[in-house]
């Protein structure tokens, strides 16, 4: 039998965020979680606490405050050098038992998602994963009005529809979010907050997993840095090689242009995962988004719908992407792409006063991005 934590609505206070860091720097998801955590805390008029665990991580505390934390709880211990679930989870669980939070946010990332899951079981509470919207609201549940409930909106069923999840009667109300799902607050240098140090708490089996080596694989492309993205989907499948080459050429013509892809295209091996746009890839907001042969699965749409301008080419006028495009060309991308490239080069030639010279194909998408 597992003991329920027994916390009621009056036993809990504030919003907690677990800071994620690797290779000596904070993960992008952390300031984003602090950003949404700040909104939730302000709505409830309760404090926002960031839990910072690791070895030689103390120096991040001030930065976390400048991103919006009221308080940073630091656990700096050589035994927390590597991000391993059990020692991290045990320490977080112990602190929550001492000061139970109302809402609790972690990243839906490789590092934080398993930790969040483990901690949710440890605290015997619910966890809504991969939330795309979080709010605080009063909720009537079983004819009882509950205040300060966390409304957790997330994609469900392979992102075909969205559910709003609540966790009535259970605390903390836990949620995870992917990198890019929320926006960080502007960095406020010199912002004041409290820093508290706590000791690590370990169980007898917490060092059963030992990290013996780490190999960093450089990420070739960070789509978040793109100003324009030329994406392709399974529409290229009839003649993928030339289509992919033209997609790369178009990206090379655009300011800050990079190549993106749908999950299906990545899973078919047309391009590496770091190019994937969407909920399971990167959530992007470029000035221009150019979608070729992208049907528009919800999981992709959610990853690009905040782009400033969207252009789409698709042979199917009924494809969902149509609804999210400012400009749409119904046609075969294999025919449209060469015409577009030619028109782009002609336009550039006119505006630079030079003859249209065929631009060199980018050797690979990653290099095209840097140009």
Partner 1 sequence: MPFFHGFKQVVLVKQVPNLTAGHVPMKPDGTIDRSKVQPMFNPPDLAALEAALELKDRLGGMVFALSMGPPDAEAVLKDCYRCGTDDHFLLTDRRLGGSDTLGTSYALALGVRYIERKWGPVDVVHAGMKALDGETGQVGPQVARWLERPCLPYVEQVHEVDLDAPKPLHADVIITGGAAQVRSTLPCVTVDAPTKYTIRTPLASRLMLMKDFRMEKLSIDDIGLDVPFIGVDGSPTKVWKSEPQTSAEGFRNTKFWTPDKVGELVAKWGEMGLFKEEVA
Site for partner 1 in 166-205 (CB under 8 A): 166-170, 203, 205
Select the residue interacting with partner 1 from 8, 144, 327, 361 (CB under 8 A): 327
Contacts made by residues 115-121, CB under 8 angstroms, sequence distance 24+: 115/18, 115/83, 115/85, 115/88, 115/89, 116/18, 116/174, 116/176, 118/85, 118/86, 118/89, 119/89, 119/92, 119/93, 119/174, 120/174
Residues 295-324 that bind partner 1 (CB under 8 A): 298, 301, 305, 309-311, 320, 322-324
Q: Please report how close the Cβ of residue 141 comes to partner 1 at its closest, in angstroms.
A: 8
- Decide whether 70 or 274 has the Cβ nearer to partner 1: 274
d(CA 250, CA 237): 18
Residues 95-114 that bind partner 1 (CB under 8 A): 109-111, 113-114
Q: Please report how close the Cβ of residue 255 comes to partner 1 at its closest, in angstroms.
A: 5
Any contact of residue 22 with partner 1 (CB under 8 A)? yes
Any contact of residue 129 with partner 1 (CB under 8 A)? yes
Select the residue interacting with partner 1 from 55, 59, 79, 121 (CB under 8 A): 121
Between helix 112-122 and helix 85-98 the angle, nearest 10°, is 50
Any contact of residue 162 with partner 1 (CB under 8 A)? yes
Residues 202-241 that bind partner 1 (CB under 8 A): 203, 205, 208-219, 228
Q: Please report how close the Cβ of residue 64 comes to partner 1 at its closest, in angstroms.
A: 18
d(CA 131, CA 151): 10
Please tell me whether the peptide bond between 299 and the residue prior to it is cis, using omega within 30 degrees of 0: no
Select the residue interacting with partner 1 from 53, 69, 75, 159 (CB under 8 A): 159
Q: Give residues with Cβ within 8 angstroms of 162, minimum separation 6.
A: 132, 153, 154, 155, 156
């Amino acid at each position: 039998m597992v003991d329920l934590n027994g916390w009621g609505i009056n036993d809990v206070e504030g919003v907690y965020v677990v800071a994620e860091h690797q290779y000596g720097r904070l993960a992008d998801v952390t300031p984003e979680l602090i950003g949404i955590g700040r909104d939730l805390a302000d709505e409830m008029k309760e404090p926002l606490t960031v839990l910072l665990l690791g070895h030689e991580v103390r120096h991040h505390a001030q930065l976390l405050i400048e991103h919006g934390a009221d308080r940073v709880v630091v656990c700096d211990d050589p035994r927390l050098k590597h991000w391993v679930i059990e020692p991290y989870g045990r320490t977080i669980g112990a602190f929550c038992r001492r000061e139970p939070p109302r809402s609790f946010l972690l990243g839906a990332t490789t590092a934080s998602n398993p930790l969040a899951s483990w901690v949710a079981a440890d605290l015997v509470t619910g966890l809504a994963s991969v939330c795309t919207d979080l709010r605080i609201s009063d909720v009537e549940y079983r004819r009882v009005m509950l205040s300060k409930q966390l409304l957790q909106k997330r994609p469900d069923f392979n992102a075909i529809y969205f559910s709003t999840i609540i966790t009535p009667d259970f605390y903390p109300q836990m949620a995870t979010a992917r990198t890019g799902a929320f926006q960080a607050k502007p960095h406020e240098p010199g912002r004041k907050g409290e820093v508290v140090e706590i000791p690590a708490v370990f169980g007898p089996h917490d060092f059963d997993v030992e990290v013996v080596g780490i190999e960093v694989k450089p990420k070739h492309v960070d789509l978040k840095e793109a100003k324009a993205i030329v994406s392709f989907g399974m529409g290229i499948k009839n003649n993928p090689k030339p289509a992919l080459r033209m997609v790369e050429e178009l990206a090379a013509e655009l300011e800050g242009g990079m190549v993106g892809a749908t999950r299906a295209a990545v899973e078919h091996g047309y391009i590496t995962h770091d190019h994937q746009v969407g909920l399971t890839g990167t959530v992007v907001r470029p000035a221009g988004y150019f979608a070729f042969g992208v049907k528009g699965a919800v999981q992709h749409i959610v990853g690009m719908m905040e782009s400033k301008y969207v252009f789409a080419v698709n042979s199917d006028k009924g494809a969902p992407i149509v609804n999210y495009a400012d400009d749409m060309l119904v046609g075969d991308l294999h025919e449209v792409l060469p015409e577009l490239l030619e028109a782009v080069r002609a336009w550039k030639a006119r505006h630079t006063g030079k003859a249209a010279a065929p631009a060199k194909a980018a050797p690979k998408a990653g290099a095209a991005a840097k140009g």
